[in-house]
Amino acid sequence: MSVKSPLYALAIAFALSGAAQAQIKAEHPRNCVMNVGPTQMMFSAFQEKGDEIFCTNISDIGPTMLIFDARQPELRDMTVEVRIVRNTGQKDWRDDLDQTSVAAFPAGKHLAQRGTMSFNHDFLKVGDYIAVVRATSDDGAKEYVGEYFFSVGPSENWYFAAMLAAMAVGVGGLGFWGLGRRKPATVVKSATTGPGSGEPAFYTPPSPAPEQDPAGRS
């Protein structure tokens, strides 16, 4: 494994984390549409500590501006009220309203001028919420109610990206640890090798010459 593997793993981790955050923040507009009776509104949220626009998931707690845009002119003539409740799995948003309600904005002709309205709320807890919009005609003959489900705090996508990042860093760390423990093989080269064998040639000293008899006898 190359020495660059830990750095490569870290790069993957940051890329995965960034990709997940981009997926959360760059939501498709259709995910931000809520039905209010036969009409529709666009829900979005903005926090001053960032420059992203959220809808299904607001990435962090804190002061948040909630924005509602009417998609049909009919809503401009109606009295509108908004309530934010905690989503506890209740069958109806009105169940245990005293326990689940976190914010209520007074009724009014909030959409009359520009077809948009906004309210500020300081989210103190991470969790799932429901934005409830109720629109009523002046004569009381029409009442439209809409619910939009959203969450505040890190979403499941964020946790999934964090898990992948941790796995990538772990794999890179194991590779780096194994590389440090591995000892390189030592190769000894000889300047002279045997003919065609590829093995080192060993030097054998010549045998001593037999002694000569002075009388010429061997």
> Would 209 be classed as within a structural domain?
no
> Would 216 be classed as within a structural domain?
no
Q: For the chain, how many residues are written?
A: 218
Q: What does the pLDDT average to over 32-56?
A: 93
> In this structure, what CATH number is given to the domain that contains residue 72?
2.60.40.2550
- How far is residue 151's CA from residue 127's CA, in Å, rounded to a whole number? 6
- How far is residue 152's CA from residue 147's CA, in Å, rounded to a whole number? 16
Kindly give, in sequence order, each residue whose CB lies less than 8 Å from that of residue 154, ignoring residues fewer than 6 positions away: 59, 126
Q: What pLDDT, in 10s, does the model give residues 11-27?
A: 433 433 343 344 345 56
> Would 16 be classed as within a structural domain?
no
Q: What pLDDT, in 10s, does the model give residues 117-148?
A: 999 999 999 999 999 999 999 999 999 999 99
The better pLDDT of the pair 72, 191 is held by 72
> Would 181 be classed as within a structural domain?
no
Question: Is the predicted pLDDT of residue 176 greater than 50, yes or no?
Answer: no
Q: What pLDDT, in 10s, does the model give residues 62-103?
A: 999 999 999 999 999 999 999 999 999 999 999 989 899 999
> Would 127 be classed as within a structural domain?
yes
Output the DSSP codes for 25-88: HS--GGGGEEEETTEEEEEEEE-TTS--EESSEE-S-EEEEEEEEESSGGGGGSEEEEEEEE-S
Q: Which candidate, 23, 45, 2, places its Cα nearest to that of 157?
A: 23
The single-letter DSSP state of residue 110 is T
User: How many domains is the chain partitioned into structurally?
Assistant: 1
Question: Is the predicted pLDDT of residue 189 greater than 70, yes or no?
Answer: no
> Would 185 be classed as within a structural domain?
no
Residue 9 in 3-state DSSP? helix
* pLDDT at residue number 192: 42
* pLDDT at residue number 144: 98
Q: In which domain, by residue range, is 97 found?
A: 25-154
